[in-house]
Amino acid sequence: MLNSGSCQLAFDPHRGKVIAQSYPLHEWSGTDWVALPTSAQYFAMTHGILTDHTRQRVLGFDRRGPGPVMILTDTAAAAEGFGAGCALGVMPALHAMMHPTPGNALFAIDLGSLAPSAPTFLVLGLGSQSQPLGAGCTLLVAQPLATLFAMAPPSGQVRHAIPIPNDPGLRGVQFVAQGAVWQPSRSLLGSITITAGLRVTIGD
């Protein structure tokens, strides 16, 4: 049962259910109000909900003024680091630019090489692993799909554009990335330094 008092309702086209703005959030099962999983409860802290027919999702917003808009979803877009890099001193690093959502043509992965004008590589794969390379270094990408090559500019920051097609079926798809930089002076392997891994989940 919902707590007494008024609450806002919105229809979620993705779930095919009516959602009640309460704490915790509830959805109508057809016979009763059922609390949504804990993973969705951060959404309940918003102050209003509405149906976004374009995205086929329920949005949460703060009616008190400008602020972030949240999407109620089981497949949140994410880009999270994992594992460890390998270099003498500061490690080169990967950073996701923009959110990995279907239709985001601006999504990219930045490789901070720390090595101006050096050759760099970005390996993309469908899975992760922990394969020792020696000297405490680890290959983190499994099932490789592609290796992207670029010469680092004077800034040392390399951006690899990875536009995501506008296909809702991509929600929940994951891929992983790891970068390598030709930098013998800082290498524990003799020639290259490597980044930690980046696990990307395409979502909302």
Q: For the purposes of burial, counting CB atoms within 10 Å of the CB of 193, is it exposed (0-12), middle (13-18) or buried (19 or more)?
A: buried
Chain segment 101-160, per-residue pLDDT in tens: 999 999 999 999 999 999 999 999 999 999 999 999 999 999 999 999 999 999 999 999
What percent of the chain has pLDDT above 90? 57
pLDDT at site 34:
86
pTM for this structure? 0.74
Beta strands 157-161 and 57-61, pairing class: unpaired
Nearest alpha carbon to residue 109 among 179, 192, 203: 179
Q: Which domains does the chain have, with CATH numbers?
A: 9-71 (no CATH), 78-201 (2.60.40.10)
Which segments of the chain have a pLDDT < 70?
Answer: 1-6, 37-47, 63-68, 74
